[in-house]
Chains A and B, each alone.
Chain A
């Protein structure tokens, strides 16, 4: 018997006039997990989050928290709390008053508010700052105060609306780790929305990829990365080289595609989704491509081809080589392994590249 999910959405739909922002979304979030909703801006993820928080009411469908329907329940009556994009700490109050706000609304007595506020601030690693003003804190400290302000109410679900968006890169990287450990510390269900795939991939137990109001795929970070169910997920999660062409042969989940410029590709598809003669797109991750300086390299398979280096984009661990296929002229981005082998790679050099067809994904081009 599985536990009641902390949050469950059933066919949740939201229409604005003639525009459907959220389209029949269904999912559930088990207790104590970190659930992310990942999607580009305008995909409907903010509307979905605001429906969970109670600021907007669904047009149809149901939304349950701990098994109880929240339809018609106001935001101040729901056992969820939200960390806002810009945190929304109250500048007119000091930190203690900010964190104690929710408890005051519940009529908790003063001395208990004091102890509980101090305890939660200690748990987020900021003991003894109750008398400070909001503008005396650093960006990271404000994040933690915003979380403490929610967590002091012991909500069933904590909603986070891209709270790292306003931070600089270094701090953002640091806060990703910290948020994950805070979630583990409180053991509360987090629902996190973001358009930044790396935030979602690093922190989440499960990620839902949202596109045009729908969930394209729900799965672990690994699932989404290695087994994307759609062209959108394949393109949105991680980087990929994308080719479009005609399917020439299908054998189970193995397909062959010839791009418009004449490059022959082998790839894997989901059984029965493409047929010969249809147009299809193929995604190959730059980091899934093996590279060698000569054709005889033991690592390369028989189908290795030679390419000309068009340019090298150095970016530390994320350095890329842009290669051009000698015959068809197709462009291929390849992650440069930082093993020292390719230190001297220059524009115009010839290299050999090859990938496992299992790592190349093929999807039907929609609208045929």
Chain B
């Protein structure tokens, strides 16, 4: 009787999760997959085939943008890690109590406004007639206005800014769980800053690093607004291509194929990253 009841409770609790998974994730993907393997041959006429995938591989623009997006997302992830690690270390290990909470909250503040507003903020800073250009001119470092916007570096700045919180949070959590005496023991046994970072702190923080990297990589890869607004004439982003296919070209078939390729790419790179860092998904996400 009790076991029946607890079973019912178990299924009731499971139901929203299953519903979410099936209705919002699995079903749309199945639909998308069927769209992606239908080729348009005429008005309201479709055939099943892999032609859309062939288009991707035959058109250099598409797979170059694909590769570019992947490489820039990986660079963004690396940059976010390099910038986020010291911040997380400072918050987790050098501060206590209220200072810690305050610093953590300060990291959260940019997320109280929408991504669009944040990106516009960067546009105000970086544009030719913007704050940075004017400030540099007034202190005499540059003689005329300089355009910082509309290039890949601006995209990177925007992406790092947008995603750094998702790196800091898991890092702070894992670094917090590192007993200070481990670091002291490292020094006591003759280690220096570098060797302790390499042999003790980083191995301990590895699950946090990997989960942070996965989230940041996914966020960058799937970002749409930041590359569109901050990027320049040649700064194509794969999600932009997908949007174009779906919305302006009315080509849902190719757009779906692109969507699946993006899914495959992100899964592939995450898998590779886990293998390289010798972590498992359960270890990283289950903490």
Report A's interface with B, CB cutoff 8 A: 53-55, 74-77, 80-82, 84-86, 88, 90-93, 101-102, 104-106, 149-150, 153
Contacts and interface: CB of A to CB of B under 8 A. Distances in A.
Contact of B185 (A74, A80, A82): A82
Contacts of A85: 181
Interface string B110-125: 0000000000000000
A105 B191 contact: yes
Q: Which 3 A-B pairs have the closest CB atoms?
A: A102-B189, A92-B203, A88-B185
Contacts of B189: 76, 81, 101-102, 105, 149-150, 153
Interface residues on B, range: 10 to 19
Contacts, number: 66
Residue among A55, A76, A91 with the most chain B CB within 10 A? Answer: A76
A86 B181 contact: yes
Contacts of A104: 195
B188 A90 contact: no
A102 B186 CA distance: 8
B283 interface: no
B190 A106 contact: yes
A65 to B, nearest CB: 14
B59 interface: no
Contacts of A106: 190
9 contacts: A55-B187, A74-B187, A75-B187, A88-B179, A90-B200, A91-B204, A105-B195, A106-B190, A149-B189
Contacts of A102: 189-191
Contact of A101 (B184, B191, B192): B191
A54 B199 CA distance: 21
B67 interface: no
Interface in B163-195: 179, 181-182, 184-192, 195
Interface of B: 179, 181-182, 184-192, 195, 199-200, 203-204, 206
Contacts of A91: 204
Contacts of B191: 76, 101-102, 105
Nearest to A84: B181
A84 B179 CA distance: 11
A81 B190 CA distance: 9
B227 to A, nearest CB: 37
Contacts of B199: 90, 92-93, 101
B134 to A, nearest CB: 45
B176 to A, nearest CB: 15
A77 B187 CA distance: 9
B195 A88 contact: no
A90 B190 contact: no
A90 to B, nearest CB: 6
Given A76-B192, A92-B203, A92-B204, A101 B186 contact: yes
Contacts of B188: 53-55, 75-76, 80-82
Contact of A75 (B184, B200, B203, B206): B184
A152 to B, nearest CB: 9
Contacts of B181: 84-86, 88
Given A92-B199, A101-B186, A101-B191, 11 more contacts: A76-B189, A76-B191, A76-B192, A77-B190, A84-B185, A88-B182, A88-B184, A92-B203, A92-B204, A92-B206, A105-B190
Nearest to A85: B181
A35 B203 CA distance: 36
Nearest to B189: A102
Contacts of A81: 188-189
A54 B179 CA distance: 18
B94 to A, nearest CB: 15
A105 B185 CA distance: 12
Contacts of B187: 54-55, 74-76
A251 to B, nearest CB: 55
Contacts of A55: 184, 187-188
Contacts of A76: 187-192
A84 B184 contact: yes
A349 to B, nearest CB: 53
A337 B167 CA distance: 67
Residue among B179, B182, B187, B204 with the most chain A CB within 10 A? Answer: B187
